[in-house]
Amino acid sequence: MEALKRTDPELYEIIEREERYQRSSIRLIPSENYTSQAVLEASGSVLQNKYSEGYAGKRYYEGQRYIDRVERLAVTRAEELFGAEHANVQPYSGSPANFAVYCALLEPGDTILGMALAHGGHLTHGSDVSMTGRFWNPVRYGVRKETGRIDMDEVRQIARAHRPKMLVAGASAYPRELDFAAFGEIAHEVGAHFLADISHIAGLVVAGVHPSPLPHADVVMTTTHKTLRGPRGAMILCGADLAAAIDKAVFPGLQGGPHNHTTAAIAVALKEAASEEFREYGRQTVRNAQALAQHLLEHGYDLVSGGTDNHLLLIDLTNRGILGKKAAKALDRAGIICNANAVPFDPRPAFSPSGIRLGTPSVTSRGMKEAEMQQIAAWMNRVLQDVENEDLQKAISAEVREFCRAFPAPGLAE
């Protein structure tokens, strides 16, 4: 970044510090990851200079001969990797992608049945604080208090009672496997479209460690970062029968020109995801999450649903008498990055919840395995036993920095 260093040394320094921070800390936020150097290079390429309203072969501007090839490459790779008839790789992110699906298939005021935000769902699945909860009529399912798991019989009862036009399966803080086949049966029974939001688990689906929503879902949406290890973007997958409606909702419905540099980076990530190396990465991500969960259980922590089937876990700190926000900040000072998160039936407000959310995509990308999860759990336990002890946090942070040296972060200069 020599040009940036000369042109804007202030911004250069901020980015350089963030790079050091990412390199020297243990990043356990499940929605974050490291991309490869190849993905970073594509994302920062001259494709940034192009404006390309429309789709490949049907652009409103001339000069698209190479852009069309880039987009077709990304589309073909997405369709082949997930086994979809059609892929749209233009959505800027997951939230507008979900919005595009609703706009394509619903009328204003139609009922959406999605997972409650407080139980692990996502804002765009009909939360009151999201536009999806204002433009459409949200109905919600959640998890059982006794198990922390979705009860599919209850989902079916709610669907029969409310007859939604859209059933959404997907989550941002649910540590268990989603039964896409059962969701599909319920959706089709009540005449609803079925949207599977696999933003968190797309890489696990590719790796074969989580069932695929295809062919059960009418539409599949995924972000392209998280476990897929691509740039910040999104894709919508669907059958040929819905392709025209989905494409029209994305452009010109909600967006103008696509971000071509992101499309190129998505193409790179999809090529990487088609490899056996990536599939092993997905398998190891789950093994690491389950190992981390086991060691935390041994330290006496209360895990929502008792463990995990995927890349994330949720700790309820109520029995420790620690607020989630305080715990997350203490761990951050110790070089271990997670986020405060509500737990199901949490009596506390969203900005000061009772839990913390952890995930293993980033540490797995660095080559850490089960033995390292034991060490991470031990550090976390030391911090959470004495959250006010900043001297302890500083000492652990130094240990973490030294520990991270043995596990180079992909895409980051040493």
Which residues are catalytic, by number? 51, 53, 197, 223, 226, 232
Helix axes 324-333, 390-404, angle to 10 degrees: 60
Question: Taking a C-beta distance cutoff of 8 angstroms, is the pair 352, 19 a contact?
Answer: no
SS3 content of the chain, % helix, strand, coil (to 5): 50, 15, 35
Task: Report the run of H or E that residue 87 belongs to, with start and end.
Answer: strand 86-88
**Angle, CA of 224, 364 and 341, to the nearest 5°:** 70
- What is the C-alpha separation between 146 and 149, in angstroms, rounded? 8
- DSSP secondary structure code for residue 250 in this structure: I
Could you tell me the sign of the dihedral formed by the alpha carbons of 393, 396, 398, 400, in that order? negative
At 281, which amino acid appears? Answer: Y
Largest CA distance in the chain: 63
CA atoms within 13 A on the CB side of 214: 22
- What is the C-alpha separation between 3 and 16, in angstroms, rounded? 13
Helical ranges in 151-275 per DSSP H = 152-162, 180-190, 202-207, 240-248, 260-273
Q: Of 256, 252, 261, 200, which is closest to residue 225 (Cα–Cα)?
A: 200
Reduced to 3 states (helix: H, G, I; strand: E, B; else coil), residue 72 is helix
- What is the C-alpha separation between 320 and 297, in angstroms, rounded? 13
What the block records as the tokens of 108 is: 């204003």
Question: Taking a C-beta distance cutoff of 8 angstroms, is the pair 126, 229 a contact?
Answer: no
Question: Taking a C-beta distance cutoff of 8 angstroms, is the pair 212, 133 a contact?
Answer: no
- What is the C-alpha separation between 165 and 112, in angstroms, rounded? 6
